[in-house]
């Protein structure tokens, strides 16, 4: 027999809608789009063009420049649009740190929602409008505030983008069967995700200490733990121009990509150990070790990955909140 929502999420406290909802209605909502970029000048202009062309125009477009060295700063400084807010960070804080600062900026500007994405994400013209509409309608159907809504992410050839596939709940068709073209999800990646500002103020920001990988999963799982699942809006579509359409595969760790894999491994190990328990942590350790063995990963690389797995046991950063003074000092 299937469990109820409250049986499967005993520590979750959804925010009920009584009278007026906590979130601003979609059609009148002020949205801050947040784009984090690092040395991707060849793709950033198309991302900005797609964001500025939205049918629901963002009130602000916040671009976090992670200390790029490819001319990104000059390009951004040459743009003349009153909605553009540029943050030139003094050092590269990774995707995690960039989103931490950019989302704080969006909230502090007064946005009702922040809409986050990478610098190689090209949203369709109605992507944002659809996210707002479906989140509103899902909240009414479920009778509680939905804490995040993400888009359907396609690769450049129209196929599923392997790295950006959300994880659904056990009762994923609930909103779909109520007449919405959306499904319930517990986690997703930061490639077109809409988050209401109240969730950022209450649950905090992404963990900048993660630097890269799993910061998005940790954050959306955190929102799900606190408020219940989010949704994927199947009519809100974006293209992720990520080069190679592949997910995380520990068989392919090598000396060149170790820096990314080791951080992602530490981050996921940390989350599993501290929030899902030792069984989840041990299962993850086993998966990483088995896949590296299957891929004949070099001995020295495997040693570094084992260190990352072990480091996750002590690595446990805590969220900060948008009113922290550091977010005002980080940009110039």
pLDDT number for residue 103: 98
Structural domain contains residue 317:
no
Spatial separation of the C-alpha atoms in residues 174 and 166, rounded to whole Å: 16
Number of domains in the chain: 2
In terms of domains, do 139 and 272 share one?
no
327 vs 142, higher pLDDT:
142
325 vs 23, higher pLDDT:
325
- Range 182-204 average pLDDT: 98
In terms of domains, do 187 and 298 share one?
no
Structural domain contains residue 19:
yes
In terms of domains, do 261 and 212 share one?
no
- Range 305-323 average pLDDT: 97
pLDDT number for residue 226: 97
pLDDT above 70 for 198: yes
Structural domain contains residue 328:
no
- Which residue among 205, 230, 245 closes a domain? 245
- Range 32-39 average pLDDT: 98
> pLDDT tier at 2 (50, 70, 90 boundaries)?
very low
- Range 115-140 average pLDDT: 98
pLDDT number for residue 19: 47
By DSSP bridging, strand 113-118 and strand 31-37 are parallel
pLDDT number for residue 332: 45
- Which residue among 221, 245, 269 closes a domain? 245
In terms of domains, do 221 and 122 share one?
yes
Structural domain contains residue 126:
yes
Structural domain contains residue 318:
no
Mean pLDDT across the chain: 93
Structural domain contains residue 121:
yes
- Range 273-278 average pLDDT: 97
In terms of domains, do 220 and 258 share one?
no
pLDDT above 90 for 149: yes
In terms of domains, do 235 and 258 share one?
no
In terms of domains, do 148 and 295 share one?
no
Structural domain contains residue 322:
no
- Range 174-199 average pLDDT: 98
In terms of domains, do 161 and 211 share one?
yes
In terms of domains, do 195 and 275 share one?
no
In terms of domains, do 61 and 123 share one?
yes
pLDDT above 80 for 229: yes
Domain holding 278, by residue range, is 250-311
Structural domain contains residue 319:
no
> pLDDT tier at 15 (50, 70, 90 boundaries)?
confident
* CATH of residue 59: 3.90.550.10
In terms of domains, do 291 and 205 share one?
no
294 CB neighbour count, 10 Å cutoff: 11
In terms of domains, do 171 and 50 share one?
yes
pLDDT number for residue 21: 58
pLDDT number for residue 17: 59
What is the dihedral sign for C-alpha 232, 235, 238, 239? positive
How many percent of the chain have pLDDT more than 70? Answer: 93
pLDDT number for residue 4: 41
- Which residue among 228, 245, 262 closes a domain? 245
Spatial separation of the C-alpha atoms in residues 56 and 101, rounded to whole Å: 24
């Amino acid at each position: 027999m299937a469990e109820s929502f409250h049986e499967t999420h005993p520590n979750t406290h959804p925010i009920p809608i009584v009278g007026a909802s906590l979130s601003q209605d979609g059609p009148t909502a002020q949205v801050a789009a947040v784009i984090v970029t690092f040395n991707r000048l060849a793709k950033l202009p198309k991302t900005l063009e797609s964001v500025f062309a939205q049918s629901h125009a963002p009130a602000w477009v916040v671009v976090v420049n992670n200390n790029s060295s490819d001319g990104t700063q000059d390009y951004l400084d040459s743009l003349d649009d009153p909605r553009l807010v540029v943050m030139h960070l003094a050092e590269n804080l990774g995707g995690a740190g960039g989103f931490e600062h950019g989302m704080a900026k969006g909230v502090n500007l007064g946005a009702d929602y922040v809409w986050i994405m990478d610098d190689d994400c090209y949203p369709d013209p109605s992507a944002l409008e659809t996210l707002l509409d479906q989140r509103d309608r899902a909240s009414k159907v479920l009778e509680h505030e939905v804490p995040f809504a993400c888009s359907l992410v396609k690769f450049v050839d129209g196929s599923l983008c392997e790295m950006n596939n959300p994880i659904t709940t056990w009762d994923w068709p609930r909103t779909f069967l109520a007449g919405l073209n959306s499904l319930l999800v517990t986690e997703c990646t930061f490639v077109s995700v809409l988050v209401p500002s109240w969730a950022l103020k209450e649950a905090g920001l992404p963990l900048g200490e993660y630097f890269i990988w799993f910061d998005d999963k940790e954050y959306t799982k955190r929102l799900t733990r606190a408020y219940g699942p989010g949704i994927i809006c199947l009519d809100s579509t974006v293209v992720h121009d990520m080069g190679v359409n592949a997910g995380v595969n520990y068989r392919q760790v090598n000396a060149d990509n170790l820096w990314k894999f080791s951080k992602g491994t530490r981050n996921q190990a940390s989350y599993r150990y501290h929030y899902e328990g030792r069984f989840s942590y041990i299962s993850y350790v086993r998966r990483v070790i088995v896949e590296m063995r299957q891929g004949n990963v070099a001995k020295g690389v495997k040693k570094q990955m084992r260190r990352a797995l072990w480091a996750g046991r002590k690595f446990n950063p805590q969220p900060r909140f948008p009113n922290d003074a550091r977010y005002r000092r980080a940009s110039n």
